[in-house]
Amino acid sequence: MKEIAKLAGVSKATVSRVLNAKPGVHPETREKVEQVIQAHSYTPNLVAQGLSSKRTKNIGLVVAHTTFRLSSHLFFLEFLRGISGFVHEKGFRLILATANSEEDYEDSCRNMAQNGVVDGIVLLGIRSNDRRLRYFLDAGIPFITVGQPIGYPDVDYVDSDNEGGARTAVEYLLRLGYKNVLFVNGPDDHVASIAREQGYRAALSSHSLPSDERYITYGDFSFESGYETVKDARITGLDFSAVFAASDLAAMGAIAAFKESGIQAGKDASVIGFDDIPYASFVDPPLTTVHQPIFEMGEEAGRLLLLRLRGNVQGTLSKVFRTQLIIRGSTQHG
């Protein structure tokens, strides 16, 4: 800015007003400054601007998955589409931090909290009593979680009705006549997994059925998780022909494992997923699943975080979206 001011024959304050489109600059002076900027290919130093304004206009998004996993995790991609479009429209940039392990994830959270490169944080993949949230609370950086945080009642969050959606799905399978429903869950301490397991157990209880721990398994929401769980359960002789999976990818893996054994989902067995990712209706057979509005959840996470950044907000900001069972071809019809 100092060099531009010297070349244009104006003060540094005038250059600043031109760059930030502020009034109080004569049109001829503004044009002269803009010509110098264009001639010398000047671009603002975003870090310096942030130091000056105490705002970076950056939003950090921290996810505990590898880049490869992200490319195949359609829930994340749909959420990313929702939040990135919203914050960009409001003049913010989205900085994505991925992690290859839980240790890397914790390091990413700690670095985001301490290095001052973002104004606010969005956290996915949180766990029960997740100590990593404490980094942002201690640093005083606004943040929002995807999933209602357990152990932190005053933290902003967006979520879907995980428990209600899971209960609806399992009750549907029970009404079809199944007694043993294999549950392919996510990690046992993931907040969404915990809620969906509560829904699974509540559905069984409502039909006066006990929760048999042999039918409750934990994975990582991946295709491989569903595939291996169903394959292993059949090898051990577990009696089941219905599967409720805590993600659509795991449900697709379950369908593939059934198919290898000559069992056709929708005809010989029933499989239900969770998410309703964009391709759920295009697999063979089309997947019955619990729909949650992933794109809208991304938008809402951005909206609530920016609302918090503007200040003057009292209490906790949160929104829980309704879920809906979408019946397609992967379940038998009663």
pTM of the model: 0.81
Beta bridge partners of 93: 58
Same fold, 58-160+294-321 and 162-293: yes
**Could you identify the residue written with the tokens 């044009």?**
31
The pLDDT score that the predictor gives to residue 132 is 85
Using a 10 angstrom Cβ sphere, with 0-12 exposed, 13-18 middle and 19 or more buried, the burial of residue 139 is: middle
The structural domains of the chain, with segments of one domain joined by +, span 2-44, 58-160+294-321, 162-293
From first to last of the 334 residues of the chain, give the pLDDT tens digit: 788 888 889 988 888 888 766 778 888 898 888 888 888 766 555 445 554 546 789 999 987 665 445 555 788 889 999 999 999 999 999 998 877 777 777 787 888 888 888 999 999 888 898 888 998 898 889 999 999 999 999 999 999 999 999 999 999 999 999 999 999 999 999 999 999 999 999 999 999 999 999 999 999 999 999 999 999 999 999 999 999 999 999 999 999 999 999 999 999 999 999 999 988 999 999 999 999 999 999 999 999 999 999 887 889 999 999 999 999 999 997 5
Q: In 3-state terms, what secondary structure has residue 262?
A: coil
Q: At the topology level of CATH, where does 58-160+294-321 sit?
A: Rossmann fold (3.40.50)
The pLDDT score that the predictor gives to residue 47 is 47
H-type alpha helices, the chain:
2-8, 12-19, 27-39, 46-53, 67-72, 74-89, 102-115, 133-139, 162-175, 191-206, 223-235, 248-260, 294-310
In CATH, 162-293 is 3.50.50.100: no
In CATH, 2-44 is 1.10.3720.10: no
The pLDDT score that the predictor gives to residue 41 is 64
> Across the beta sheet with 58-63, what order do the strands follow?
93-98, 58-63, 120-123, 143-146, 156-160, 318-321
